[in-house]
Structure 1
Amino acid sequence: MTNSDHHWFGCDIAPGQSANTEFEVTESYSSRSVVIPIQIRRGLSPGPTVFVTAALHGDELNGTGAIRALLADRSWVLQSGTLLLIPVLNVLGFERHSRYLPDRRDLNRCFPGTRGGSMASRLAKVIFDSLITKCDYGIDLHTAAVRRTNFPNVRADLSNPDCVRLAEAFGAGIILHGKGPKGSLRREATKAGCPTIIIEGGEVWKVESSVADCMTRGIFNCLKELDMMPGKPDIPDTQAIIRETRWLRAERGGFMSMHVAPGDTVVKGQAIATNSNLLAEDQNRLEAPFSGVVIGMTTLPAVQPGEPVVHIGRLANPKSARRHEKQIAGDDVQRTAHEHLATNIQVTEASESPIDES
């Protein structure tokens, strides 16, 4: 499917041209229009229509920074197709520095939406009908939730060949399989015939340059893969496909000493974090349940029993972990992200003294 329509949100855009515009999605409490800013670029030749969105959760700004970098960069040209760049999708949450909408709902659980439902459902309906259904592919940029961080990774429904194509072309180095939660943009867009991937990276409320660089490179890679830009995608030689993940959770309350950072590889039985009271007594330790890669982790070291500490994706074996570690080291973009994200976590050596591992 190729969308050749040149009329977008009140603008007629000729081949080779771009336009900044906006589309109305709802009304505020003061009855003023709430609009989403968008830039539309058209290549000289026909091709696919692709959307790139950020801040679907209003506090997740790494993607916003990545899209703004693309908007400010005059050095690249779209040779074919149509590209829709939306730096902030959830403007109501963005203006409140909040993940959620004013009605306390998660917009990313409300797609495709309904015309007569809640405010969130109506907003999702307008976005879905006005934007998503007019596109052939989608890239949705995210970060970890509040008080967590993620090493940049792609998430996609790997049972869909077009999603596989986008996910591999993006070149994040880590690909997690999954359709996404019910009502999420990527799940419902893919179901509606617009294969969509998401990228998770970094923390809320900030733009981290190394994460934004991963995102911009990945967007360019996907556009090259779809022949919308000249050149070949710049992707790692190998990428880890993750089909199983597990959150390691605190067994006791206290203060966590972390022994790993985002993007680290681990082997089964390796010490991940050590928990103790505020006087560094009564320690217990969390260990890796399998060989894998650290996808994400808490940035808040104070925990209660049951709280998530480290998110690990399973790799086949220790040999796979070493191979993935070598792959990160050989890719400048991933290596820089690994180094930068590690500075946000105090990583210490695990003690060799006896520890309660319950």
Structure 2
Amino acid sequence: MKSTSEITILGEHILPGQKRTLNLDIARLHTQTKIEIPVIVERGRGDGPILLLNAGIHGNELNGVEIVRELLARKYTSPQNGMVISIPTLNVFGFLNQKREFPDGKDLNRSFPGSKSGSLASIFASTMMNEIVPHIDYCVDFHTGGARRFNSSQIRISRDNPELLALANVFNSRFIVYANQREKSFRLAATSIGKKVLLFEGGKSLDFNHRITRRGVNGTLRLMHHLGMRDFSEEISEMKSEPSIVIDQSIWLRAKYGGLFRFFQKDGDWVKKGDLVGIISDPYGKFEYKIKIPQSGYIIGLNHAPVVYKGDAILHLGFKAT
């Protein structure tokens, strides 16, 4: 819980009741063009936690950017207590090019905690860990599925962490998925220094989905309300919600043949063992391979690509915790 004393972020003093747009500036393009990452800081007049809303760590994951944009545009990020730090396009380099990676070809989310003497992505990660993350208490890190893979709205957390599970239930995405932390990821680096991170997954790359955006916005309002940052009772009363489904384990079904892929189910569906969920066929009408579910579960991710190769992940099947 932060006090009403002065807080300094990126060299700027943030006083109670202030809103500032700061710039995270660590590098230039090869043309010497300066690229600045906007960091919007909004501080309430009362004491409270500091929440980071972080999106675009992969430059082509636009649905997370849209969630944070909508929160900012509707002025939901202006707290009564505590402070909200919003970074809609963390990997602004990738965002400009509509690519996942940093300009040096590195995955920013595999570069944490970074190094001041490392690659460009590593330098950026180090700056983030030293200039922004030490100030925060909580973070929602917004992601989408990679490539053409569409994820149902889900909060990913580590197993055996009751506090994170409680926060994930407050957020109320469609699913809560127990997921191991990836080496050198932002989530691992932040949680290793005591920060509480909810990783939101929803939608797919280079795409907006209204349902996913609504889930992300509503979940953030619930979280801020729960943390005592702002009273969203009226907004929450209008939200339709059911308890999140906790996914204990999951598997990916992979294509046994390459060809044209047509699926008959939608993400989030409960499917039973033996159900037909899709067909892979050749372009000439000579064969059709039926894809059946090996065991009952929920579709938490689905490949939307119309053409797949042998071995491609085509369906993410999750199993409910007992």
TM-score > 0.5 by shorter chain: yes
Aligned to 2:84: 83
2:151 is equivalent to residue 181 of structure 1 = no
TM-superposed deviation, 1:235: 7.6
TM-superposed deviation, 1:76: 7.0
Whether the 8 Å contact between 1:25 and 1:36 is mirrored in structure 2 is no
- After alignment, is 41-50 or 20-29 more displaced? 20-29
TM-superposed deviation, 1:199: 0.8
TM-superposed deviation, 1:126: 0.5
CA distance in 2, matches of 1:268, 1:252: 21
**AA aligned opposite 1:288:** I
**AA aligned opposite 2:272:** V
CA distance in 2, matches of 1:41, 1:75: 10
Aligned to 2:198: 197
Aligned to 2:67: 66
**AA aligned opposite 2:64:** G
Secondary structure in 1 matching 2:145: coil
- After alignment, is 250-259 or 55-64 more displaced? 250-259
Secondary structure in 2 matching 1:243: strand
Residue 258 (structure 1) aligned to one of 250, 259, 263: 263
CA distance in 1, matches of 2:77, 2:185: 31
Whether the 8 Å contact between 1:44 and 1:79 is mirrored in structure 2 is yes
TM-superposed deviation, 1:60: 0.6
CA distance in 2, matches of 1:84, 1:215: 16
TM-superposed deviation, 1:242: 0.8
Percent identity over the alignment is 31
Where structure 1 has 5 or more consecutive residues not aligned to the other structure, the ranges are 318-358
- After alignment, is 160-169 or 298-307 more displaced? 160-169
Closer, same or farther: CA 311–92 of 1 in aligned 2, 3 Å: same
- After alignment, is 114-123 or 24-33 more displaced? 24-33
Whether the 8 Å contact between 1:291 and 1:316 is mirrored in structure 2 is no
Aligned to 1:19: 20
Structure having the higher strand fraction is 2
- After alignment, is 54-63 or 238-247 more displaced? 238-247
2:300 is equivalent to residue 299 of structure 1 = no
CA distance in 1, matches of 2:241, 2:75: 26
Aligned to 2:127: 126
Closer, same or farther: CA 218–60 of 1 in aligned 2, 3 Å: same
TM-superposed deviation, 1:316: 5.8
Q: Deviations over 1:31-61 (max 9, x none)?
A: 4443210111111211111100110000111
Q: Deviations over 1:44-81 (max 9, x none)?
A: 21111110011000011111111111211147741111
TM-score after normalising by structure 2: 0.92
CA distance in 2, matches of 1:75, 1:112: 30
**AA aligned opposite 2:207:** K
Whether the 8 Å contact between 2:248 and 2:321 is mirrored in structure 1 is no
- RMSD of aligned C-alpha atoms? 2.0
Q: Deviations over 1:298-320 (max 9, x none)?
A: 11121221111111111369xxx
CA distance in 2, matches of 1:205, 1:276: 26
CA distance in 1, matches of 2:96, 2:244: 37
Whether the 8 Å contact between 2:153 and 2:203 is mirrored in structure 1 is yes
Aligned to 1:243: 248
Q: Deviations over 1:144-168 (max 9, x none)?
A: 1112211111111132233223211
**AA aligned opposite 1:127:** M
Q: Deviations over 1:120-161 (max 9, x none)?
A: 111110111111122111101111111221111111113223
TM-superposed deviation, 1:106: 0.3
Aligned to 2:277: 272
CA distance in 2, matches of 1:75, 1:34: 27
Aligned to 2:318: 313
CA distance in 1, matches of 2:294, 2:133: 39
TM-superposed deviation, 1:236: 3.4
Q: Deviations over 1:224-245 (max 9, x none)?
A: 1111111456683422111211
**AA aligned opposite 2:222:** N
CA distance in 2, matches of 1:75, 1:93: 27
CA distance in 2, matches of 1:300, 1:177: 26
2:291 is equivalent to residue 290 of structure 1 = no
- After alignment, is 205-214 or 112-121 more displaced? 205-214
Q: Deviations over 1:296-354 (max 9, x none)?
A: 1111121221111111111369xxxxxxxxxxxxxxxxxxxxxxxxxxxxxxxxxxxxx
Moved segments of 4+, more than 6 Å: none
CA distance in 2, matches of 1:103, 1:76: 32
Where structure 2 has 5 or more consecutive residues not aligned to the other structure, the ranges are none
TM-superposed deviation, 1:101: 0.8
TM-superposed deviation, 1:117: 1.3
2:2 is equivalent to residue 2 of structure 1 = yes
Secondary structure in 2 matching 1:224: helix
